[in-house]
A and B are shown apart, each in its own frame.
Chain A
Amino acid sequence: MAELIGLRQMKINQQARIVAVQAQGDLGRRIREMGLIPGTVITVIGRAPLRDPVALRLLDFTLTLRNNEADHIIVDPLAAASGALS
């Protein structure tokens, strides 16, 4: 089993399961209401031309967030799945 990392460290096309969302307040609320909660599987599908924000694919939709917001999300990379959705 791979080590836990911050969402910012994920590579493009890498898949991971969210372990914890450490953001509080407004940011935490926004992140959670979009369905980024522990257990959700996400895939990084791209980064903006200046490497920030990052675009994530959830099961049914795509969303973007800034790198400093992604830092609050701890993920467990899914080893075998990289590239599965590309």
Chain B
Amino acid sequence: MSDRIIIALAGNPNSGKSTFFNALTGARQHVANYPGVTVEKKEGFIEFNGQRLHIVDLPGTYSLTAYSQEELVARNFLVNERPHLVVDVLNAGALERNLYLAVQFLELGIPLILALNMMDEVRKQGRRIDTNRLSSLLGVPVVETVARTGEGKEAVLHATLEFSDSPKVPWKPLRISYGPDLDPVIQEMETEIASDHFLTDLFPARWTALKYLEEDPQVRELGKGHAIAEKLEEMAAQVSEHCQSTLRTTPDSIIADYRYGYISSVLRQDVIQRDESRLRRMDMSDRADKIVTHRLIGPMIMIGVLLGLYKATFVLGEAPMGWVENFFGWMGEMATVLLPEGLLRSLVISGIIDGVGGILSFVPLIAIIFILLAILEDSGYIARMAYMLDRVFRTFGLHGSSVMPFIVSGGIAGGCAVPGIMGARALRSPKEKLATILTAPFMPCGAKIPVFLMLAAAFFPEKGASVMFWITLGAWIAALLVAKLLRLTIIRGASTPFVMELPPYRLPTIKGVLIHAWERTWMYIRKAGTVILALAILIWAAMTFPLLPEEQTAVFETKQKQIEQHIAELESANFSVPETTNESHEKLRASLAHIEAEKSEAALRHALAGRLGSALEPLSALAGFDWRTNIALIGGFAAKEVIVSTLGTVYSLGEIDPEDTAPLSQRLHKDPAWSPVTALSMIVFVLLYAPCFVTIVVMARESSWGWALFAMGFNTMLAFGLATVVFQVGRLLN
């Protein structure tokens, strides 16, 4: 009794399962990914009547096949971890379809409690569900719940305790008849499996037989090497052939038909009473959709929602983002005061504080975008967007739901790929999701924009707005075409079926939205924080080491000392009449700053990043980039903000504020090595090349390190190729 009970929470998507999980566990939950996949695993620990309960929220699924990551994860958990029981949360308003999953649990034999959720909606529609009758027909406890209000939550927990108090019984699988064509062979297979003890430690014999008939890839993989497996496969193949030749159907469709047949035979026994007159009037959602997904009004509303989402995120996020940045700026100043000048100070400020500050300054943006996305998702609007846009995105091998990650990443110039890629979680189609994640970073994010504006100011004055417009358009074209390319080559394969539920519109709950947003934000802070800190230090080291040799530093320092001395002399000599000395004083100060900037330039050129920049010059010259640009672009691997500030350093301009790039624009404009063609080539390169490190880490989390590194390499090559074309063609034309 003192052992904790493990409860798996299962159910269809949109059944209110997450809401129910939140109602049960409150904020005491833990989110991680299942090992090896990007499916979220949510767990919560609670105590009820002195009993400790461990609740695991399985991913929402419609079935228990092995064709999606979610289903496989759910099934593996049940079979391998053997939870004490499953609480299946059902949308009572669509009971028939929701029972399809429940029947599969019954067939697996795992102890089950049915939570008929959203009973408030059912009652409002004038329907009645006889839960006692349903319970006795299916032989499992049935509890009515309303997850939004917490109704029925105690009853479910009581039923759980009742179960754990009763003596342990082995799993009792339900046996459904699958008709004259399948029953005999199922029986035969079952006998074989049972006598051979084939996989019986994992599944009931009949379940294994069914899975062989359904051609379940996972079970077949498990069976490899067993003599009996071959026999079973052969039997399944024979039946399949028979079904196809005589009935023109397949065993797995017969199985589905009979499962539904079983469900309707149960429901027909006076379980549901409908009030037909109210049923006809009821569907508000369908009526709302007449407008929300209307041919003309629908897209207009959608543009409004997307613009609103985008504006809200970056307007609301701006201030807190500034606070975080200011805080780290203040920390940097403190470190300047507290630490002696030298390597340690440089590491702490340029490496750690700037690195960590860079990561954490995204947190407000991520939190806001997740709150807004959770509202759109929970309300049901995301599904409508996917529905309306699917036709466009499918042309490029993507999915209707790909629009959101693209927009947030900067599809309207100025977003950020980090929340964009995390937002791709809403995509349930693995191939489309991967293609979306890999192409979303092409969008002109907020950090790339200062580079574009600076170059536009230098070489296309007065045309900033149209330059930005063409850049944004170019990014969309590049993203969609590359997505198409990927889907035709390395992410090849038929599109995932779109078959998707349009859930009724619902008001999101504040609690649900906040929990949802918080857990994802926290995951970002925790995971991205550790990796990126290491990378930030690495980048810092590359831009610092090897140090400038002593004698070179000495040259700069001697010059500086001389001027400082000069200033000191001036100050003491003319202390009484400061006005007259002002001019020469200023000049001296300026030349002092200039020497400091020259020293930084020399140091950077001497460091690994600088040497790399110089070494790459023969190659990068093809696209018109000299060693200075190279260094800045290498810095851009860390964060795109670094490009402008590094250019400032290599052109000996000292600190360049990304908000005010006028000095850099003027400098580049006068530089004979630069021309509008060079600028254009650089714009193309910066737009398309490797995503920044934060993005890479997030990409790795949402797909794999392999794909994240692929994006780094592939995007850089693509960007360089196109930049070279632009530069060479542009030079020929000029």
- Residue ranges of A at the interface with B (Cβ–Cβ < 8 Å): 21, 24, 26-38, 45-46, 48-53, 55, 57-66, 69, 84-85
Contacts and interface: CB of A to CB of B under 8 A. Distances in A.
B100 A35 contact: yes
A53 B285 CA distance: 18
B390 A32 contact: no
- In the A-B complex, the 5 residue pairs with the smallest Cβ-Cβ separation, listed nearest first, are A60-B94, A32-B256, A50-B391, A62-B502, A61-B94
B392 A50 contact: yes
Interface in B205-264: 250, 252-253, 256-257, 260
B97 A31 contact: no
B497 A30 contact: yes
A52 B250 CA distance: 28
B237 to A, nearest CB: 15
Given A37-B260, A60-B95, A53 B252 contact: no
A61 B93 contact: yes
Contacts of B295: 49
Given A26-B67, A37-B256, A38-B257, A62 B497 contact: no
B293 A29 contact: no
B280 interface: yes
Contacts of B289: 45-46, 55, 62
29 contacts: A27-B499, A28-B250, A28-B253, A29-B63, A29-B67, A29-B252, A30-B497, A38-B257, A48-B387, A49-B295, A49-B298, A52-B390, A55-B293, A60-B96, A60-B97, A61-B91, A61-B502, A61-B504, A62-B289, A62-B504, A63-B499, A63-B501, A64-B499, A65-B497, A66-B497, A66-B498, A69-B497, A69-B498, A85-B286
B299 interface: yes
B498 A65 contact: yes
B502 A31 contact: no
B394 interface: yes
B401 interface: no
B499 A34 contact: yes
Contacts of A62: 285-286, 289, 501-502, 504
B667 interface: no
Interface string B93-113: 111110010000000000000
Given A46-B290, A53-B387, A61-B93, A33 B497 contact: no
B253 A34 contact: no
Nearest to B264: A39
Interface in B388-415: 388, 390-392, 394
A57 B97 contact: no
Nearest to B388: A48
A84 to B, nearest CB: 8
Contacts of B500: 63-65
Contacts of A48: 293, 387-388, 390-391
Interface in B494-516: 496-504
Contacts of B286: 45, 57, 62, 85
B724 interface: no
Contacts of A58: 97
B62 interface: yes
B97 A30 contact: no
B313 interface: no
Nearest to B297: A49
A52 B389 CA distance: 9
Contacts of B293: 46, 48-49, 55
Nearest to B274: A59
Contacts, number: 122
B65 interface: yes
| Interface-central residue, A26, A34, A38, A65, by most chain B CB under 10 Å | A34
A35 B391 contact: no
A86 to B, nearest CB: 8
B390 A60 contact: no
B82 to A, nearest CB: 25
Contacts of A69: 497-499
A60 B501 CA distance: 11
Given A32-B253, A49-B293, A53-B390, A63 B260 contact: no
Nearest to A38: B257
Nearest to A21: B253
A49 B257 CA distance: 33
B497 A31 contact: yes
Given A46-B289, A52-B390, A60-B93, A24 B250 contact: yes
B387 A55 contact: yes
Given A48-B293, A49-B293, A49-B295, A28 B252 contact: yes
A33 B94 contact: no
Nearest to A52: B391
Contacts of B497: 26-27, 30-31, 65-66, 69
Contacts of A65: 497-500
A36 B496 CA distance: 17
A85 B280 contact: yes
Contacts of A84: 280
Contacts of B93: 60-61
| Interface-central residue, A46, A49, A58, A66, by most chain B CB under 10 Å | A49
A37 B258 CA distance: 10
B103 to A, nearest CB: 11
A69 B62 CA distance: 18
A21 B497 CA distance: 14
Contact of B97 (A24, A35, A53, A55): A35
Nearest to A56: B502
A77 B296 CA distance: 28
B581 to A, nearest CB: 73
A76 to B, nearest CB: 17
B391 A59 contact: no
A49 B303 CA distance: 13
A66 B501 CA distance: 12
B62 A49 contact: no
Contacts of A57: 283, 286
Contacts of A36: 499
Interface string B256-294: 110010000000000000000000100101100110011
Contact of A53 (B94, B257, B391): B391
A27 B498 CA distance: 9
A24 B394 CA distance: 21
A37 B298 CA distance: 31
